[in-house]
C-alpha cells in the first residue's frame, strides 16, 4: 500500500462499472426502552429513515445521546447493492459518529432490493443524470443535518458507483462536504471543477491496482484533476487488489474516515 501524489497516464474509458453487492455483517437494531425520569436518552444503534426521498439506514458507531453533536459520515453503496448491505462496511469504525447509509434512487436491473445511483453508462453519456444523483445526495445530507446536531460538514465515502458520486460531491466544495474517501471510483469527465471550490475539501481515494471494472488509472486521473483544481487530494493504492473491499482496504477506509471526520 502506498500514497501517490499522482501524475497518472491518461484515463481509460470504463464501459461497465458494475459492482457486485457488498456483503458485510449488519448490526441488528437495538430495542428501545423508555428512559427513566431524569435518565439520559440515547439514540438507537440502527434505524430506518428517509432524507430527501432517499431511504437510509442510520447507525451510531458508539452510544450517542439524543441531541448530541457528533460528526456525520455518509455512505454510498455500489451498483446493485443497498444501504442495508453496505452498512456492514462501518462495523468497527473507531470514529464516534452518525453514519447515514443511503439507498440509490434507481432500482437495480438484477431485481431484489439492489439499487443504483444511475444507469450504467449514463455518467458519461448523460451528464445531467449524474449531476441529478449528486444533487439528490446533497439534498439528503442537508436534510440530515437539519434533523441531527452535527459538527462540521459531512464526510462522504462510497464504493464503485457510490465512489463516483462521492467524487462528484467533493467537486461541489466545502459547503457540501469537508472530506471524501472514494473507493474504487472515478470522476466523470463532464464534472466541472470550478476555481475556489477546492478550499476546505480533502479527498483521499482508495483504489486497487488490479481493478478490472474501474481502472486504477481512472482513480489516479480523478485525483490528478482535483489536485490541478486546487483540492487537497491523494491516492492510496493497494497492489494486486481488484474491484472489492478486502480487509486491508476496509482498515484504510476506517483510518481515513476517523482522520477526516473528527470534529473541527
pLDDT digits (tens, 9 = 90+) for 89-134: 999 999 999 999 999 999 987 777 899 999 988 888 899 999 999 9
* 44 exposure class (CB count in 10 Å sphere: 0-12, 13-18, 19+): middle
Q: For residues 177 and 18, what is the distance between their CA atoms, to the nearest angstrom?
A: 26
Q: Where are the alpha helices (DSSP H) in the chain?
A: 83-86, 122-125, 127-147, 161-171, 216-228, 247-261
Q: How far apart are CA 82 and CA 244, in angstroms?
A: 16
d(CA 205, CA 110): 28
Closest by CA to 179, choosing from 195, 198, 161, is 198
Domain boundaries, the chain: 2-6+42-261
Whole-number pLDDT of residue 24: 40
> Exposed, middle or buried, 92 (CB in 10 Å: 0-12/13-18/19+)?
exposed
Separation CA 249–CA 169 (nearest Å) = 21
Burial bucket for residue 2 (CB in 10 Å: 0-12, 13-18, 19+): exposed
Nearest-10 Cα torsion for 207, 134, 94, 213: -20
Beta strands at 54-60 and 98-102: parallel, antiparallel or unpaired: antiparallel
Q: How would CATH label the architecture of 2-6+42-261?
A: 3-Layer(aba) Sandwich (3.40)
pLDDT at 37: 54
Give pLDDT tens digits along the chain (264 positions): 444 444 333 333 333 334 444 434 433 344 345 545 556 799 999 999 999 999 999 999 999 999 999 999 999 999 999 999 999 999 999 999 999 999 999 998 777 789 999 998 888 889 999 999 999 999 999 999 999 999 999 999 999 999 999 999 999 999 999 999 999 999 999 998 988 888 999 999 999 999 999 999 999 999 999 999 999 999 999 999 999 999 999 999 999 999 999 987
49 beta partners: 56
According to the model, what pLDDT value does residue 36 have?
Answer: 52
Cβ-based neighbours of 48, under 8 Å, separated by 6 or more: 55, 56, 57, 58
pLDDT given for residue 8 in this prediction = 37
**pLDDT at position 11:** 36
Q: How far, in Å, CA of 242 to CA of 244, rounded? A: 6
Amino acid at each position: 500500500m502506498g500514497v501517490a501524489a499522482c501524475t497518472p497516464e491518461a484515463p481509460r474509458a470504463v464501459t461497465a462499472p458494475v459492482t457486485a453487492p457488498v456483503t458485510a455483517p449488519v448490526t441488528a437494531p437495538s430495542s428501545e426502552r423508555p428512559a427513566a425520569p431524569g435518565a439520559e436518552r440515547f439514540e438507537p444503534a440502527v434505524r430506518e429513515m428517509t432524507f430527501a426521498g432517499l431511504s437510509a439506514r442510520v447507525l451510531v458507531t458508539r452510544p450517542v445521546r439524543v441531541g448530541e453533536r457528533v460528526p456525520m459520515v455518509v455512505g454510498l453503496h455500489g451498483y446493485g447493492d443497498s444501504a442495508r448491505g453496505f452498512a456492514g462496511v462501518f462495523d468497527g469504525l473507531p470514529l464516534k459518529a452518525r453514519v447515514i447509509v443511503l439507498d440509490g434512487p434507481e432500482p437495480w436491473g438484477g431485481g431484489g432490493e439492489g439499487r443504483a445511483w444511475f444507469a450504467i453508462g449514463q455518467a458519461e453519456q448523460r451528464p445531467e443524470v449524474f449531476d441529478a444523483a449528486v444533487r439528490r445526495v446533497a439534498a439528503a445530507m442537508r436534510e440530515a443535518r437539519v434533523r441531527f446536531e452535527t459538527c462540521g460538514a459531512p464526510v462522504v465515502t462510497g464504493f464503485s458507483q457510490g465512489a463516483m458520486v462521492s467524487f462528484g460531491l467533493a467537486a461541489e466544495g466545502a459547503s457540501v462536504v469537508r472530506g471524501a474517501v472514494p473507493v474504487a471510483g472515478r470522476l466523470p469527465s463532464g464534472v466541472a471543477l470550478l476555481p475556489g471550490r477546492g478550499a476546505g475539501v480533502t479527498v483521499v481515494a482508495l483504489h486497487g491496482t488490479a481493478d478490472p471494472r474501474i481502472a486504477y488509472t481512472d482513480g489516479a486521473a480523478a485525483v490528478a484533476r482535483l489536485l490541478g483544481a486546487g483540492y487537497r487530494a491523494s491516492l492510496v493504492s493497494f497492489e494486486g487488489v481488484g474491484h472489492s473491499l478486502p480487509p486491508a482496504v476496509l482498515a484504510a477506509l476506517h483510518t481515513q474516515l476517523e482522520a477526516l471526520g473528527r470534529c473541527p
